[in-house]
Amino acid sequence: MKTASAGPEIERLISLLAKLPGLGPRSARRAALHLLGKKDALMRPLADALADAADKIRACTECGNLDVADPCTVCAAPNRLDAAICVVETVGDLWALERAGAFKGRYHVLGGVLSALDGVRPEDLNIAKLVERAAREEVSEIVLALNATVDGQTTAHYLADRMADCGVAVTSLARGVPVGGELDYLDDGTLAAAFRSRSSV
Amino acid sequence: MKTASAGPEIERLISLLAKLPGLGPRSARRAALHLLGKKDALMRPLADALADAADKIRACTECGNLDVADPCTVCAAPNRLDAAICVVETVGDLWALERAGAFKGRYHVLGGVLSALDGVRPEDLNIAKLVERAAREEVSEIVLALNATVDGQTTAHYLADRMADCGVAVTSLARGVPVGGELDYLDDGTLAAAFRSRSSV
């Protein structure tokens, strides 16, 4: 990590950049030099954008989405369905679903999944609020869009149990062959699930 | 790049992060979410470090190195040799040589290499100052530590010509087998150069 003769200002910048996911010590050095070569075009705007976003962006108290407004744009949108709530692990998953344009209801961000290994318990997640929202009269379906991992599925089962008395339909995303996927490269579990859920052409 | 429902503050942050070398649109989104999850531990310190470095760091008027001081720490160091100047393309190369601890003289950063393709001419580089420094009485050797690329070697030949009348020895880094390198994986040019420059054991 030592860059030598660069002074503590650059060292500090590099060590902070190296904490970003996707950047290591070497690429952080490269990024720092790139930034110092484009002070007005990139470095100062990035500093401003970081400070600005840190001040303005917060978690929506209704759904956990990140936005400058609270309730967030999705929760406040008048043209979205109130009948369905899509449960996701992270805001990144919410963005992915919005990019796909697959869902026109509201979201609920859990902020993670249950994990015995990492010590994540139900009270560590945004679950109480979800149960409260699920019990509302206008809500008829909860779509669990959690990752198809062991922890994701454990969490899905836990949530389905918790909402059993809310009188809502609890659904989850389909398992199957991804678009563009080749059968030969798919794992056995996915193939078996796709076979079980086959549909008429 | 569209993240939807995230607001212009996050969009702007993501598009700026995506301009860093090593980060694309997807990893920039991931970095933005990571930062928003660690506002006080990472996001605000990074904003401060960027603004601080943008204000304080500048190019040394003597050698082109980046530092808060001008002349820079290397130029000002009393315990370094004045007799030798090592010419590098970028500050990143200077850092790499300093990490290796291979050189105890002064440096000179060209800021690039000559390139007919990219339209980089001698007057676009920090060459006039180098010739001036090479002509100084105390300087006896100029070490050209340029990349072993076509443009790097073109530039090395040009610099050797320009400094022919300065009365200094112009040298360049040795070509050979890298430490830990396996002969079978080396290119023919490197092997031939290493063979020509063989030394007695």
Q: What is the Cα–Cα distance from B13 to B99, expressed in whole angstroms?
A: 33
Instruction: List CB contacts (< 8 A) between B3 and chain A.
Output: 95, 98-99
Does B112 reside within a domain?
yes
Tokens of A77: 């949108």
A86: helix, coil or strand?
strand
> pLDDT value at position B125?
96
Q: Residues 91 to 150 of B: which have CB under 8 A from any A CB?
A: 91-92, 94-95, 98-99
B9 close contact with A: CB closer than 8 A: yes
CATH code for the domain of A93: 3.40.1360.10
Give the number of other CB atoms < 10 A from CB of residue A79. Answer: 5
Q: Where are the beta strands (DSSP E) in B20-83?
A: 58-59, 66-67
A1 occurs within a structural domain? no
Q: Do A26 and A79 fall within a single domain?
A: no
A121, part of any domain = yes
Residue A176 has pLDDT above 50, yes or no: yes
Indicate whether A190 belongs to any domain: no
Measured between CB atoms, which of A31, A47, A56 is closest to B54?
A47
Answer yes or no: do A126 and A32 share one domain: no
Does B200 reside within a domain? no
Do B28 and B80 lie in a common domain? Answer: no
Nearest to A30 by CA among B193, B93, B17, B116: B93
Tell me which of A39-43, A181-185, B131-135 is least confident: A181-185
| A171 pLDDT higher than 80 | yes
Do B41 and B102 share a structural domain? no
Residue B1 maps to a domain = no
* A-chain residue closest to B20, CA distance: A31
Q: Say how many domains are in chain B.
A: 2
Q: What is the chain A residue with the closest CA to B25?
A: A22
A135 and A168: one domain?
yes
Search chain A and give the residue with CA nearest B36: A54
Q: Are residues A45 and A92 in the same domain?
A: no
Residue B34 has its nearest CB partner, among A4, A21, A48, at A21
Residues 6+ apart with CB under 8 A from A158: A114, A122
Among A11, A9, A49, smallest CA distance to B47 is for A49
| Choice between B189 and A19, residue whose per-residue pLDDT is larger | A19
In the prediction, which pLDDT does A122 show? 94
Q: State whether A49 and B13 contact (CB < 8 Å).
A: yes
- Do A114 and A164 lie in one domain? The reply is yes
pLDDT at A28: 95
Output A36 or A196, whichever has higher pLDDT. A36
Residue A29 clears pLDDT 80, i.e. is over it: yes
**Do B90 and B151 lie in a common domain?**
yes
CB of A19 within 8 Å of a chain B CB? The answer is: yes
Can you give the pLDDT at residue B5?
A: 54
The verdict on residue A199 lying in a domain is no
Tens digits of per-residue pLDDT, A59-94? 999 999 999 998 999 999 999 999 999 999 999 999
Q: How confident is the model at residue A1 (pLDDT cuts 50, 70, 90)?
A: very low
Looking at the structure, do residues B52 and B72 belong to the same domain, yes or no?
Answer: no
- pLDDT category at B196 given cuts 50, 70, 90 is confident
For position B14, which CATH number holds?
1.10.8.420
Same domain, A45 and A70: no
Is position A2 within any domain? no
Residue A179 has pLDDT above 70, yes or no: yes
Please give the residue range of the domain that contains residue B44.
8-56
Other beta carbons less than 10 A from residue B117's beta carbon: 7
B56-99 pLDDT per residue, tens: 999 999 999 999 999 999 999 999 999 999 999 999 999 999 99
Rounded to two decimals, the ipTM of the complex is 0.84
The answer to whether A198 contacts chain B (CB < 8 Å) is no
Residues A42 and A80 in one domain: no
pLDDT band of B1, cuts 50, 70, 90: very low
Chain B's closest residue to A35, CA to CA, is B20
Residues A72 and A112 in one domain: yes
Measured on CA atoms in the order A92, A96, A99, A101, is the torsion positive or negative?
Answer: negative
User: CA separation (Å) from B77 to B80, B103, B130, B178?
Assistant: 6, 13, 19, 31
